[in-house]
Amino acid sequence: MSTQVVLMTGCSAGIGLVTAKRLALESNQRFIVIATVIAMSEKSDLVAAVGDALNKTIFIEELDITKDYDITNVVDKTLKSHGRIDILLNIAGIAHGDIAELVTRDMIEKIFNVNVFGQMRLTQAVLPQMKQRKSGKIISVSSTAGRNGVPYMDMYSSTKFALEGFFESLAVSLRAFNIRICLVEPGPVRTGLRDGVVENFRTRHQDKSIDEIDTKQLQRLLDNILAENGYYDALMPEDVANVIVTRCMEPDEPVLRHLLIPEDLNEVVRIGMADLTGEKTIENVRQSMI
């Protein structure tokens, strides 16, 4: 395989940092990585992780995917410097957990701007040169929350459902251009996003004004998330990075969806996928909150 130019987002921490490091430090140097961070002040962990590979197999650029100017600038600069973008890897995202009616409009817009509109706009920006070359891959880190709704993460789940619809639709028309779409769908992953959701739940759980039913259900969710080998036992970022590389980047014709879940969630997700009415899914998830 010839050297592939990879433009990726969300590289300051978590799955993005781990994946960027893996690609940049490959001994056979199969990839040139354009790793983006929301601000250069956020790059220190990535710089430390890649060491001497910096400005050789990996280049760090600033990109706020909610800003069209940043998107155009990074894509144009990459094309000018490297001639093409072979792979777009969408990892940047944010999460939020709360009682649905208490989520502010500002938070709803923020999470959709990052998780949905930013990915859509960046995808639009790289597509013309991929279509012209009749070659390319677009990989998006989605979530099992985009296949089965997660209680008290209603806004986050809705962004992942939106991404699933966008990329599944896009995958059909792009096959004629030899462009492949991959959706990587991990269950819970041990990252800062997960930690943030735990804090969201803790804060709301302590709110004396909320209904007793919500209080009890939030407590049960917290118990499940924090249990060492519990219902929401989490994956590691390296697990997701491995799927991205081995199932999406290396194969010439990867399939659309790549489900990645801990054993604890196998039954829940599989029931949901086969549940035409949605009732079995609701009851199965509710049982975890009783």
Query: Which amino acid is residue 72, in one-letter code?
Result: T
Residues 61 and 229: their CA atoms lie apart, in Å, by: 38
Q: Is 44 exposed, middle or buried (0-12, 13-18, 19+ CB in 10 A)?
A: exposed
The token pair that represents 147 in the structure block: 């296949």
Q: How many CB atoms lie within 10 A of CB 282?
A: 15
| Radius of gyration, alpha carbons of the chain | 19
The residues that bridge with 181 in the sheet, in sequence order, are 138
Residues 11 and 18: their CA atoms lie apart, in Å, by: 8
The token pair that represents 25 in the structure block: 């430090």
Is the distance from CB of 136 to CB of 86 less than 8 angstroms? yes
Tokens 């590389």 map to which residue? 245
Short-list 140, 43, 53, CA closest to 88: 140
Handedness of CA 271, 153, 62, 117 (dihedral sign): positive
Catalytic residue IDs? 156
Helix (H, G, I), strand (E, B) or coil at 54: strand
Please report, in angstroms and rounded to a whole number, the separation of the first and last CA atoms in the chain.
51
The residues that bridge with 136 in the sheet, in sequence order, are 179
Residues 279 and 276: their CA atoms lie apart, in Å, by: 8
